[in-house]
Amino acid sequence: MTGPPMTAQTTTTAPRPILDSPRPRAEQLLVGFFTVIPMLALIAAVPLAWGWGLSWLDVGLAVFFYFLSGLGVTVGFHRYFTHRAFTANRGLRNGLAIAGSLALQGDVITWVADHRRHHVFTDKEGDPHSPWLYGTTVGALAKGFWHAHSGWLFNRDRTNAARFTPDLVADRDIARISRQFPLWTVVSLATPTLIGGLATLSWWGALTAFFWAGLVRVSVLHHVTWSINSICHMIGERPFAARGKATNVWPLAILSMGESWHNLHHADPTCARHGVRRGELDMTGRIIWILERLGWATRVRWPTSARIAELTASR
Ligand SMILES: [Zn+2]
Ligand SMILES: [Zn+2]
């Protein structure tokens, strides 16, 4: 006897697989390309800074694009799209999706799908970038560190967007911005180059702006973001009760724009501010506060002292 026919109902209620089909090889090659080239630029940057062109304009452009794309990731990709720490109007939502795309960390839907999977399986099998998957010997932790920091990007697993980000796939604006990721990659590298060239009316000015505000800026932000996945799951303080091994790492607070208060974040993922204790700088939280004042962000999930006391006590 055969079983009942598979109905639409049973199809939709069956749990969707964690992974989608593997990433195409050509796309994987591009991931490698855009990860390695900026990193080589970063390695070359230090000796070149002394004897080679680094103008104040390059510094200004690099800092501007660092924080623009970085806040696109922290305010947008992370606290808004992944965790819905606040509600955004349409203009802000699209602006954040575009700004985050300029960081060259993948399209918004892929980024959010991977990160939601990280929260579901934190530091266990299924977590896309836990440093704890290989064991706790020195060798296993070194391997884990590399995997969590950037090694995971080089395997072809693709998180299933239909399972982890149905809300974003259904949002037509966001789905379009996500598909346009190649365009944002060009915009991210070409805009500082163009400004550098036009401001100095020289090809040399365009080239140095491309190098510093394009490649080096992208790579520094890559490493800071990746440090949240590697360092902030290995070393640091754990003042709050969180599943997994996330830590607070104060030296990264400014460069990461508040994301290195990662122990609090895993204890209370939808909280709009991660640096909740006195003196814990959280630029991302401050920007959300400004967006709320402007009326673009509403229903912001601010931490309450009762909630923080609860998270500290249940530790
Ligand atoms: Zn984490
Ligand atoms: Zn998160």
Q: Which residues of the chain carry a pLDDT beneath 50?
A: 1-11
CA of 301 to the centre of ligand 2 (A): 14
Cα dihedral sign, 32-38-41-43: negative
CA distances to 86, 250, 297 from 285, in Å: 11, 15, 12
Q: What single letter denotes the amino acid at residue 297? A: A
CA of 158 to the centre of ligand 1 (A): 18
CA of 4 to the centre of ligand 1 (A): 42
CA of 253 to the centre of ligand 1 (A): 15
Percent above pLDDT 90 for the chain: 72
Q: Match 């992370």 to its residue by tokens.
A: 78
> Nearest CA to 160 among 14, 9, 21, 13?
21
User: CA 31 from chain center: how many Å?
Assistant: 15
Tell me the C-alpha distance between 273 and 281, whole Å: 10
pLDDT of residue 107: 97
Beta-carbon neighbours within 5 Å of ion ligand 1: 246
**What's the token pair of residue 214?**
């394009």
Tell me the C-alpha distance between 280 and 261, whole Å: 8
| b/e map 200-220, b = 16+ CB within 10 Å | beeeebbebbbbbbbbbbbbb
pLDDT of residue 34: 75
pLDDT of residue 146: 93
CA of 292 to the centre of ligand 2 (A): 21
pLDDT of residue 1: 37
DSSP letters spanning 268-309: STT-S-S--STT---HHHHHHHHHHHTTSEES-----HHHHH
Tell me the C-alpha distance between 276 and 189, whole Å: 35
pLDDT of residue 3: 44
pLDDT of residue 104: 97
**Would you say 248 and 239 are in contact if contact means Cβ atoms under 8 Å apart?**
yes
CA of 221 to the centre of ligand 2 (A): 17
- Please report which ligand is nearest the Cα atom of 271: 2
- Please report which ligand is nearest the Cα atom of 128: 1
CA of 196 to the centre of ligand 1 (A): 36
**Would you say 280 and 308 are in contact if contact means Cβ atoms under 8 Å apart?**
no
Tell me the C-alpha distance between 80 and 28, whole Å: 27
pLDDT of residue 38: 80
DSSP letters spanning 106-175: --HHHHHHHHHHHHHSTTSTT-TT-TTSS-SSHHHHHHHHHHHHTGGGGS---B-HHHH-HHHHT-HHHH
Side-chain-side CA neighbours of residue 90 (13 Å): 3
- Please report which ligand is nearest the Cα atom of 81: 2
Domain boundaries, the chain: 22-313
CA of 78 to the centre of ligand 2 (A): 6
CA of 190 to the centre of ligand 1 (A): 32
CA of 236 to the centre of ligand 2 (A): 17
pLDDT of residue 271: 97
**Would you say 260 and 249 are in contact if contact means Cβ atoms under 8 Å apart?**
yes
CA of 263 to the centre of ligand 1 (A): 8
pLDDT of residue 5: 45
